[in-house]
Amino acid sequence: MSKGICRDCLTARGSDGRRCRACGSPRILAHDELDILSIAHIDCDAFYAAVEKRDNPDLQDKPVIIGGGKRGVVSTACYIARIHSVRPFIPMYEAMDACHKEVVIKPVTESYVTAGN
């Protein structure tokens, strides 16, 4: 019998591999080494903006938008900019209308790759 976690009720106990003993769900995640595996949840929505703020502390309390040009789209935005309804993939002109005093930065892919490693 392998160790399992029910994806619906999150009960962690052995299962027969077919159904959760607690709720009856068939959605069981089973693996022999489940008790030694680690899971990390990383919020990458604002990753590029977080890297820019890390590299330039003057941006800390400012709405940072990563994207390019008035005809481009928002790649990502920090949470301060999101308060003003700036979201990824909206046109830059909409983002700049919605969020005054924004700081727009063109993406610097090399910095993000280095920070992610």
What tens digit of pLDDT does each residue of 35-90 get? 787 776 666 778 999 999 999 999 999 999 999 877 899 999 999 999 999 999 99
Question: Percent of the chain, pLDDT > 90?
Answer: 41
Positions of CATH 3.40.1170.60 in the chain: 47-116
For the cut 60, the answer to whether the pLDDT of residue 14 exceeds it is no
Q: Which residues touch 97 (CB under 8 Å, ≥6 apart)?
A: none
Longest CA–CA span in the chain (Å) reads 59
Q: Where are the beta strands (DSSP E) in the chain?
A: 3-6, 12-14, 28-30, 64-67, 74-77, 103-105
Asked if residue 21 lies in contact with residue 31, where contact means CB atoms within 8 angstroms, the answer is no
Per-residue pLDDT at 81:
93
pLDDT at 3 over 80: no
The CATH number fitting domain 47-116, selected from 1.10.1740.10, 3.40.50.1370, 3.40.1170.60, 3.40.50.300: 3.40.1170.60
* Residue 116 contacts residue 93 (beta carbons within 8 Å): no
Predicted TM-score of the model (pTM): 0.63
The closest alpha carbon to 26, from 41, 48, 4, belongs to 4
